[in-house]
């Protein structure tokens, strides 16, 4: 399993990746949970974007936003650079599942809010990560552990590491508070539908796709379907906007979301 940021190439040094933003003065150790928004400086930075969905206003995603409920929760452990990438799909999960928690990762300053939730006995957290290294095989579980936690009256939590593949490995290895948690790999035959960053392999799913697959495999099929459709709407809208093309007719996923809204589904 890889998340959407795994599909990019990171050329920054590890020391730079762990340093608070000098331009904004953001200090995670001071208890700030969210890094400040900064202007996106890359291709398309001049495009007028919606404040709600961050997509170009030409194809705003807000009309398709539908919220869903799930027995499991998602906690995103996000590298600080990911927050400002319009192509990041982690935030789509939070749009659909309102109980989603987002935490910014710094090696030397874990968020107190995350540590408190990890200590909360209501939750059974699982670190979603590949089972490709021998030193943590004793921690590896499968979807049955998630279903078992539900049956025992607990709230299962998928902890998704949101960063480049290099960053994700570092976060997994350099976070002591993750060391005793079970590791849940995602094994699936589904191929990525993500069109905004080039994957190293079609089997490398983006963050939103991983969340949807885990929800589907562990009994939250309706939430998985909503997230899948919302991701497809995002994918189509963003790809069209890159070529300044206005979508006139909703695709099938968009229409399903519009139908849910019309029939009274929750939306923001």
Which of 11-15, 81-85, 153-157, 168-172 has the lowest average pLDDT? 11-15
Cβ(4)–Cβ(87) under 8 Å?
yes
Q: What is the pTM of this model?
A: 0.81
Average pLDDT over residues 101-130: 95
Which residue pairs from 143-146 have beta carbons closer than 8 angstroms and sit at least 24 positions apart in sequence? 143/184, 143/214, 143/217, 143/218, 145/182, 145/184, 146/72, 146/184, 146/214, 146/218
**What whole-number percentage of the chain has pLDDT above 70?**
78
Average pLDDT over residues 15-30: 41
The yes-or-no verdict on residue 210 having pLDDT over 50 is: yes
- pLDDT given at position 33: 47
User: How far does Cα 123 stand from its chain's mean position?
Assistant: 19
- pLDDT given at position 4: 43
Which comes out higher in pLDDT, residue 106 or 214? 214
Cβ(59)–Cβ(261) under 8 Å?
no
The yes-or-no verdict on residue 249 having pLDDT over 60 is: yes
Which comes out higher in pLDDT, residue 259 or 189? 259
- Averaged pLDDT score across all residues of the chain: 84
Which of 37-46, 75-84, 95-104, 206-215 has the lowest average pLDDT? 37-46
Which comes out higher in pLDDT, residue 186 or 191? 186
- pLDDT given at position 19: 39
The yes-or-no verdict on residue 103 having pLDDT over 60 is: yes
Tell me how far apart the alpha carbons of residues 98 and 114 are, in angstroms, rounded to a whole number: 17
Average pLDDT over residues 106-132: 94
Average pLDDT over residues 102-130: 95
Average pLDDT over residues 193-206: 67
- pLDDT given at position 43: 52
Q: For residue range 253-263, what is the model confidence (pLDDT) as tens digits? A: 999 999 999 98
State the pLDDT confidence band at 135, using cuts at 50, 70 and 90.
very high
- pLDDT given at position 240: 92
The bridge status of strand 123-128 relative to strand 101-104 is unpaired
CA distances 12 to 65, 93, 166, 219, Å, are 34, 27, 10, 39
Which of 25-34, 78-87, 133-142 has the lowest average pLDDT? 25-34
């Amino acid at each position: 399993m890889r998340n959407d940021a795994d599909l990019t190439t990171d050329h920054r040094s590890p020391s730079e990746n762990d340093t608070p933003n000098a331009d904004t003065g953001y200090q995670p150790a001071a208890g700030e949970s969210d890094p400040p928004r900064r202007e996106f400086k890359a291709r398309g930075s001049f495009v007028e974007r919606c404040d709600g969905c961050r997509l170009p206003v030409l194809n705003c995603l807000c009309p398709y936003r539908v919220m869903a409920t799930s027995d499991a929760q998602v906690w995103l452990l996000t590298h600080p650079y990911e927050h400002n990438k319009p192509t990041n799909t982690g935030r789509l999960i939070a749009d659909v599942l309102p109980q989603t928690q987002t935490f910014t990762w710094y090696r030397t300053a874990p968020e107190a809010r995350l540590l408190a939730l990890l200590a909360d006995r209501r939750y059974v957290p699982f670190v979603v990560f590949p089972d490709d290294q021998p030193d943590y095989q004793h921690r590896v579980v499968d979807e049955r552990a998630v279903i078992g936690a539900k049956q025992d009256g607990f709230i299962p939590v998928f902890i998704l590491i949101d960063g480049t593949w290099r960053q994700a490995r570092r976060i997994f290895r350099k976070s002591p508070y993750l060391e005793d948690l079970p590791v849940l790999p995602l094994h699936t035959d589904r191929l990525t539908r993500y069109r905004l960053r080039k994957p190293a392999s079609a089997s490398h799913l983006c963050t939103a796709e991983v969340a949807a697959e885990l929800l589907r495999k562990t009994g939250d099929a309706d939430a998985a379907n909503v997230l899948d459709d919302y991701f497809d709407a995002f994918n189509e809208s963003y790809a069209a906007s890159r070529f300044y093309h206005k979508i006139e007719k909703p695709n099938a996923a968009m229409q399903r979301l519009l139908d849910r809204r019309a029939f009274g589904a929750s939306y923001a």
